[in-house]
Amino acid sequence: MKITLVIPLYNEELILNETVNAVRDYMKSTFPDDHEVIFVDDGSTDGSKEILDEVCSDAVRYISYQPNRGKGYAVRQGMLEGKGDLIVFTDCDLAYGLDVISEMISAFDEHPEYDAVVGSRVKHPEGYAGYNFFRKFVSKTYLRLLRFWGGLSLSDSQTGIKGFRHDAAKKIFALCEVDRFAFDYEAIKIGQKCGYRFGELPVKIVNNRPSTIRFFRDTRRMLRDVGRAKKRIKKLKITEE
């Protein structure tokens, strides 16, 4: 079984070299038979592309483009490029660690009925460890909005660790359009409309960086993107392949 790991990034030159080395070593030791890692440089304006050009080789490669399009766009490019039987994406700061990758693969092995597995902080007793009060409040408020207004059935859509079986990844992300906020919500809702089955994996933050979200501005953008995604998904025609 081939495993693809997709890592989107934007202006991460301070941690990128360390991340590439850690990911390369982990994937080689954990999935030695067949794996690939795809870094997606989302229009970085620092030295990220130069670092990737220097350190990527063999099973670790990268995509780079200009200008910056947003995390949703970057994840979409990596998921559509991936060749693995299972395609997982996570954040460049490895917020949930690397062991979570093998935990996710195990979840697929234990549940052959799952087409996708989504990380959930809500399901983990220490899922919000390290969050300050305001960040926890914002996160939980947004999830409540997604459940009650967006119709989200999963406990947590916003973790940066999700995995998909090959066919599900290709179909779902080919239909996605949200480039920035709410791209996770869009992918889940499209997947469910396609009839794919989602499982949840309890996760916790092990590398807690300060949030870059600006509450009032970004909340408006998130709600706008969710509203647009809801309308588009409702009209979406799903074809059988």
Task: Kindly report the CATH number assigned to the domain that includes residue 100.
Answer: 3.90.550.10
Mean pLDDT of the chain: 91
Does any domain span residue 152?
yes
Host H or E run for residue 164: strand 162-165
Pairing relationship of beta strands 35-42 and 3-9 according to DSSP bridges: parallel
What is the per-residue pLDDT for 107? 97
For 176, the domain range is 3-235
Q: How far apart are CA 170 and CA 115, in angstroms?
A: 12
Phi, then psi, of 199 in degrees rounded to 5: -110, 165
Does any domain span residue 131?
yes
Host H or E run for residue 9: strand 3-9
What is the per-residue pLDDT for 68? 97
Q: Does residue 140 register a pLDDT over 80?
A: no
**HEC readout, 150-163:** CCCCCCCCCCCCEE
Residues 13-18 have a mean pLDDT of 97
Q: How confident is the model at residue 197 (pLDDT cuts 50, 70, 90)?
A: very high
Candidate from 11-15, 157-161, 170-174 with smallest mean pLDDT = 157-161
Per-position DSSP letters for 110-141, written without gaps between them: H-TT-SEEEEESTTSTTTTTT--HHHHHHHHH
Q: Does residue 217 register a pLDDT over 70?
A: no
> For the chain, what is the domain count?
1
Q: Does residue 36 register a pLDDT over 70?
A: yes
pTM for the full model? 0.92
Host H or E run for residue 5: strand 3-9
Q: Which residue has the tokens 């997604």?
A: 146
Q: Are 115 and 78 in contact (CB under 8 A)?
A: no
Q: Does residue 24 register a pLDDT over 90?
A: yes
Q: How far apart are CA 197 and CA 76, in angstroms?
A: 20
Does any domain span residue 240?
no
Residues 199-223 have a mean pLDDT of 75
Candidate from 47-51, 88-92, 103-107, 231-235 with smallest mean pLDDT = 231-235
Q: How confident is the model at residue 128 (pLDDT cuts 50, 70, 90)?
A: confident
Q: How confident is the model at residue 21 (pLDDT cuts 50, 70, 90)?
A: very high
Q: Quote the percentage of the chain above a pLDDT of 70.
A: 94
Does any domain span residue 241?
no
Q: Does residue 97 register a pLDDT over 60?
A: yes
